[in-house]
Chains A and B, each alone.
Chain A
Amino acid sequence: MRVVIADDSVLIRAGVVRVLEIAGHEVVAETGDGTALLAAVAEHRPDAVIVDVRMPPTFKDEGIAAAVEIRDRWPGTAVLVLSQFVEERYATDLLARDTSRIGYLLKDRVADLDSFIEALERVAAGGTALDPEVVAQLLVRRPADPLDRLTPRERDVLELMAEGRANTAIAERLRVSESAVGKHINNIFMKLDLQPDDQGHRRVLAVLRYLAA
């Protein structure tokens, strides 16, 4: 496999090159910043790119920007982003287009040669490699179950909706006015984040959510 490496630390670059050579891969270019990386990718059209996040000139998220651009311009090139820290927000940027041919790992993982090479090859083959720490970060943001937000009365209404009843029937059953049922239903839509486009469609989606819970 032909690989291009971008990292502003010569020390680490040299280490990664050695690891790749041991695994039998060819490093066709080494660069120290994002712009040089894009030029090298344009020139060599590698199978995979290994890129650091913090690079000159700003030492912020150069690597992420370069990775996103490579994925846009050369979708066939696998990109493995390495960093001293992983950030869920960077991962979201990287995965925004699609989840194939992309990897985002802590630099520490390179020290475990076998699993690192395995991750690189998986990404090059079209797969994904996400660091467990990124996954943990994504998980702390899982939203609360939207059904928990419904009041008991709204739950009753939703239950009856799931049984396939129309608003009139629901109003009759719950001994409330039809307009009250309409209000409850609107609240349910709001709480389940269902956008007001097609009434019937929203109704089905709400019921599906209820059944899935």
Chain B
Amino acid sequence: MLGTRRPKISSAAWRSEGGASTTPAVRPAAWTAPDQRQYREGVPTTRRELRRARSADAGWDAMFLTSGLPLWVITMAALLVWSQSLHTIQHAGAGAGTVVRLMLSVIVVIAGLLLLAPVLTGWQRRRFQGFRGIEIREIQTPRLYRRGQFRLVLRSEALWRQVLYHLIAGPLIGMALALLALMAAITVFVAVKLPAHALGMGQYHRVYGEKFWGQVAYLLLSGTAVVFMPRLIRALARADDFAARRLLGPSETLVLARRVQTLADSRAAAVEAADGERRRIERDLHDGAQQRLMSLALHLGIARKTLTDVPPEAMSVIVDAHEQVKEAMAEIRNLVRGLHPAVLDDRGLDAALSGVAARSAVPVRLTVGTTGALSASVETVAYFVVSEALANVVKHSRASQASVEVTRQEDRLLIRVADDGIGGADTRSGTGLTGLAHRVASVDGRLRLTSPSGGPTVLTAELPCGV
């Protein structure tokens, strides 16, 4: 900690997720005091070095705290005045006028703060960034001076939190700092005066004798406090960090809400990107490998038909090659069909499902109801569900027939794939089904599987298709 010169800012989850992101404490060169630089090189080891390091840190912290004073001074004064008035009201039983004046001043100060909060917060944000390397996220708050935003201002939780900082938290820290400074000053003053007292004791001791011992006691007490001063200052600086993060930055709820939004957006983008990639691969294969193979098959076909005077061994090689290239074409076609068939974009899910169902080695009966308009991502997932489920039926179920039903129920698309096979399928064991569950989850859908041993297996996917 001392090696890096700055207290490390702990990164509790809510903070690192955007409340006030912590950047490595990089300060502008102008702020780096010369005597602090040496500590960057090595970790202080001796007691003396440690003490020096701590007091240098405390000096920096004190500067940081002092820099807040100008921003707090008015509200500090207001707090002092209010506490005086409260005191008067309590003890002297002051008249209604004082109470009204107190109330009015509170309202005026709070209104002023509501008005100025964005500006003050901006200054504080720069102060924390400059001194502490702490980034406090900016949040949009309604402005009191704008038309029609009055209600919004009163209801703005963020704005009230900022007022709380500028009115209470900051000034309290400022007062504590002032108190510490005062105490230190008195200590120095007393320490300077004490020897003089001791020397002149003979002359004055009848008058000042009792005071002398009082001063000694004070000096002992405040001396101890001065020894602990660096720690006290550091604690205050941390308190300021904490208050600013909690009160000036976005609230935890807001941070989480934003986070959820960001995650939802990035997930949608990732799903989209994956779909786009599948489309691209499909097109590339269609324009490239498939055409080449097609041409190759054609030419081998021509050779097979027109070459009449080749030796039979050569002809058998041509025939073999021709048959193999045709098989390769069929394989690529099946592969590409599983990726993202062009017909899905052209004519939609209903049309695309015919191909999957027909390709299945287990006979399939396909029923597609009116699905209405579906988003491309839902169609792609639905297609993938049917395609993967049927592949699983063929691979594992030993079924003699399967059925696929696709229906729309209000804002959900229901896909039901059933087979009369041996059952015992599990979303956890089969890799195909696991991938399927993930794919369905990527659009907030639900996948259910009932597959008792002995069958039948029914797989149901529910995909939300609200816009």
Which residues from A are CB-within-8-Å of B366? 140-141
Interface bits A141-158 vs B (CB < 8 Å: 1, else 0):
110100000000000000
Which residues from A are CB-within-8-Å of B298? 12, 15-16, 18-19, 110-111
Contact B326–A87 (Cβ < 8 Å): no
A98 within 8 Å of B (CB atoms) = no
B329 CB, nearest partner CB in chain A, Å: 5
Which residues from B are CB-within-8-Å of A114? 305
A137 interface neighbour in B290, B333, B345, B355, Cβ under 8 Å: B355
Given contacts A60-B346, A84-B286, A144-B365, contact A12 B354 (CB under 8 A): no
Which residues from B are CB-within-8-Å of A22? 302, 305-306
Given contacts A12-B295, A88-B351, A111-B322, contact A137 B357 (CB under 8 A): yes
Contact A108–B326 (Cβ < 8 Å): yes
In the assembly, what is the distance between CA of A138 and CA of B358, in Å?
8
The number of chain B residues with a CB under 8 A from chain A is 43
Contact B294–A88 (Cβ < 8 Å): no
A193 CB, nearest partner CB in chain B, Å: 15
Contact A111–B354 (Cβ < 8 Å): no
A20 CB, nearest partner CB in chain B, Å: 11
A69 within 8 Å of B (CB atoms) = no
A64 CB, nearest partner CB in chain B, Å: 9
Binding stretch for chain A, among B175-183, B184-192, B336-344, B449-457: B336-344
In the complex formed, the residue of B with least CB distance to A7 is B291
B292 within 8 Å of A (CB atoms) = yes
A89 interface neighbour in B291, B297, B343, B345, Cβ under 8 Å: B343
B433 within 8 Å of A (CB atoms) = no
Interface residues of B in 4-27 (CB under 8 A from A): none
A140 interface neighbour in B326, B342, B345, B354, Cβ under 8 Å: B354
Contact B291–A11 (Cβ < 8 Å): yes
A96 within 8 Å of B (CB atoms) = no
Which residues from B are CB-within-8-Å of A19? 298, 301-302
A149 CB, nearest partner CB in chain B, Å: 13
Q: By CB atoms of chain B within 10 A, which of A9, A60, A108, A110 has the most? A: A108
A54 interface neighbour in B297, B302, B342, Cβ under 8 Å: B342
The secondary-structure label for the interface of chain B is helix
In the assembly, what is the distance between CA of A15 and CA of B363, in Å?
36
Contact A89–B301 (Cβ < 8 Å): no
Which residues from B are CB-within-8-Å of A74? none
B48 within 8 Å of A (CB atoms) = no
Given contacts A108-B330, A140-B357, A141-B366, contact A87 B301 (CB under 8 A): no
Q: By CB atoms of chain B within 10 A, which of A9, A137, A138, A140 has the most? A: A140
Contact A137–B354 (Cβ < 8 Å): yes
Given contacts A107-B294, A108-B330, contact A88 B342 (CB under 8 A): no
In the assembly, what is the distance between CA of A95 and CA of B448, in Å?
39
Q: By CB atoms of chain A within 10 A, which of B295, B330, B351, B367 has the most? A: B295
Contact B343–A136 (Cβ < 8 Å): no
Interface residues of B in 268-309 (CB under 8 A from A): 283, 286-287, 290-292, 294-295, 297-302, 304-306
Contact A112–B301 (Cβ < 8 Å): yes
B363 CB, nearest partner CB in chain A, Å: 8
A166 within 8 Å of B (CB atoms) = no
B151 within 8 Å of A (CB atoms) = no
Interface residues of A in 31-70 (CB under 8 A from B): 54, 59-61
Contact B351–A84 (Cβ < 8 Å): no
Interface residues of B in 312-368 (CB under 8 A from A): 322, 325-326, 329-330, 333, 336-337, 341-343, 345-347, 351-352, 354-355, 357-359, 363-367
Instruction: Give 16 new A-B contacts, CB below 8 A, not counting A15-B295, A139-B358.
Output: A12-B295, A18-B302, A22-B302, A59-B342, A84-B333, A85-B355, A87-B352, A108-B333, A110-B298, A111-B294, A111-B300, A111-B326, A136-B359, A138-B354, A141-B354, A141-B357
Measuring CB to CB, which residues of chain B are less than 8 angstroms from any residue of chain A? Answer: 283, 286-287, 290-292, 294-295, 297-302, 304-306, 322, 325-326, 329-330, 333, 336-337, 341-343, 345-347, 351-352, 354-355, 357-359, 363-367
16 contacts between A and B (CB under 8 A): A15-B294, A61-B346, A61-B347, A85-B333, A85-B336, A85-B355, A89-B351, A106-B333, A108-B297, A108-B326, A108-B330, A108-B333, A113-B305, A133-B358, A137-B355, A141-B366
